[in-house]
Structure 1
Amino acid sequence: MTTITPKLRPSASARLAPAAPSLWRVIDAGGRVIGHVQARADRRGTRFRARRYHPPTRAFRDLGDFWSADDAVDCLRFSR
């Protein structure tokens, strides 16, 4: 699998920081980590999964799969 580095639209109020291959931390304008975006291969192209850590269960919860990194980041921003 080739390495994918998603680019967010210039107006995005969050940024991505590499966390692992095909995984990025989503950091809001205040510097807080609000979740992760994971690139996943799909037979139709690359999907971006929005994930958020759930402290009570000590596990990540998948919020959805999207065709763009921007949409995955928006999911994390708006679901807080």
Structure 2
Amino acid sequence: MSAVVETRTSGTPPIASRRRVRLVAAAPSLWRVLEPGGRVIGHLQEIAQAGSVRFRARRYNPAAHAFRDLGDFWSADDAVECLVFGR
């Protein structure tokens, strides 16, 4: 069974955490989350599901050569906080 996931392009989501990180567009509904020094700490993906919008935090796992989903959140702030503080 697979879930139907739609993405949408609504511009960069506003986040209160901007003083600690920067979002850079990587694809429609996908942003790289960068530290102030420019190091990528993960991705933020906007997902439209069942009439609502969720934000997925994703971190690259070098050992697996793949991204690992850390979770889906109701706000971009919560997803970014997971990336920033979940290291």
Normalised by the size of structure 2, how large is the TM-score? 0.83
Q: Secondary structure at the residue paired with 1:56?
A: coil
Alignment pair present for 1:52 and 2:59: yes
Structure number with the higher strand fraction is 1
Greater Cα radius of gyration, structure 1 or 2: 2
Say if 1:60 and 1:4 are closer, same or farther in 2 by CA, change over 3 A: same
1:50 partner amino acid: A
* Runs of 4+ with >6 A deviation: none
Say if 1:53 and 1:11 are closer, same or farther in 2 by CA, change over 3 A: closer
Query: Within 2, Cα distance between the matches of 1:65 and 1:42?
Result: 11
2:78 is matched with 71
1:30 CA drift (Å): 2.1
1:31 CA drift (Å): 1.5
Listed as ranges, the gaps of 5+ residues in structure 2 are 1-6
Query: Within 2, Cα distance between the matches of 1:63 and 1:2?
Result: 20
1:49 partner amino acid: R
**Is residue 17–residue 81 contact of structure 2 (8 Å, CA) maintained in 1?**
no
Normalised by the size of structure 1, how large is the TM-score? 0.90
Q: Report how many residues are paired.
A: 80
Identity of aligned residues (%): 60
2:10 is matched with 4
Listed as ranges, the gaps of 5+ residues in structure 1 are none
